[in-house]
Amino acid sequence: MVNRVPTAAQNRQHGGASVEVLQKVAKNMSFAAVVLTAVAHFAYLIYVPSGGFLALRWPRTILCHVPAVVWGAAVVGWKLPCPLTALEQWARARAEMKPLPQGGFVEHYAAGVLYSSDGTGAAQALAFFAAALSWVMLAAKHNRRCVSRQRG
């Protein structure tokens, strides 16, 4: 008896997974990776300006917020590549989707949608201002607590 590898048509007839099915599954998983990456990116963009205000209620979260803001400032200031944008580009290619534009995630999803297309710099400045303001408020709260402990 000769062992033969079944053809794709034979696999479909007998309920086996064909190459086409596996390719479609891989494409769908890549699309899911694009969606999850975009969600993570939006969450990060919301967290940068607001995370310090969360730390007013839950002070230990500042340990996550500081590196998030520092990373964001480095990406904006030094034009470092964003790993989430790179991941989304990779997943888009495997999902056979159009690549992100040169400006990456921000240009594709935020600029011209959440604010005017020429307002990226202002939006970034506002986000970093909000983060700095929250840190000042957190420091003031900490100082008030320290002073009240010394008196009481």
Q: Which of 13-22, 44-53, 129-138 has the lowest mean pLDDT?
A: 13-22
Burial grade of 27 (CB within 10 A; 0-12, 13-18, 19 or more): middle
* pLDDT at 22 (0 to 100): 87
CA 68 – CA 74 distance, rounded (Å): 10
Domain regions of the chain by residue span: 19-151
Predicted structure pTM score? 0.80
* pLDDT at 144 (0 to 100): 82
